[in-house]
Amino acid sequence: MSIQGGPHRPLDIPSARPLRLARSVRVGSWAFGVCGFAWAISTGCHHKPPSITKSGPSAAASAGSALDSDARRDFNRNIAAYISLRERLARTMADTVRGTEDAQSVLRAAVAKARTNAKPGDVFEPAMQRSIRSIVRREVEGPGGANIRASLMDENPMGVAIRINGGYPNSLPLSTMTAALLAALPQLPDGLEFHFVGSRMVLLDTRARMIVDFVENVLK
């Protein structure tokens, strides 16, 4: 179970010049990149690693390639804003809570305080919500859909109340996500994951163990 930048523009090298290959070092814009906050990883909860069910190409893969470009752009912008906020808060609090056993809860409280007015749809805007519902529907209604649905329901916590900025209890399992579905969904940076809680798809911050946003009525 797992939440991945953008494509590089090809380098235009004049034909008159000798062709030289330069190694480019990709620096992921999503990377957490805060050395002083390594303690948050080491002190985070040790829950069961999410499981991913591998499957072959599916209708979801083609749906993902056709994901509305405007919806993807807006979603990526919202994700970048969230990651920027989390990194800034992590830097300011790293020295004060380094080595404490409850570093994850401290980070969650700081992020929640900074997002006091956050509401459903702030990250998953309406166009992205529609795209996600469509991708999941094609996955579970396509060939092998019954097995795919069964995989998505594996360890899916049902009947659980969730809220934006709310903590995801350590006692709750994390739903299985199929590889084909993850390939069709937008890529997420390290520390963010898609999961299901009942019929809702949630965006989970695994560093703060916090629900960033969710989409209603995805699994029907």
pLDDT at position 101:
59
Strand ranges inside 7-78, DSSP E: 52-53
The pLDDT mean for the chain works out to: 77
pLDDT at position 16:
39
Average pLDDT of the residues in 112-140: 95
Question: How far is residue 132's CA from residue 127's CA, in Å, rounded to a whole number?
Answer: 9
pLDDT at position 69:
85
List Cβ neighbours of 108 (8 Å cut-off, separation of 6 or more): 165, 167, 205, 208, 209, 210
pLDDT at position 67:
66
pLDDT in tens, 26-58: 333 333 333 333 333 334 434 444 544 444 444
pLDDT in tens, 194-209: 999 999 999 999 999 9
pLDDT at position 27:
35
DSSP string, 141-195: HSTTHHHHHHHHHTT---S----TT-B--TTS----EEHHHHHHSPP--TTEEEE
- Which of 97, 117, 212 is CA-nearest to residue 162? 212
Model pTM score: 0.69
Strand ranges inside 33-93, DSSP E: 52-53
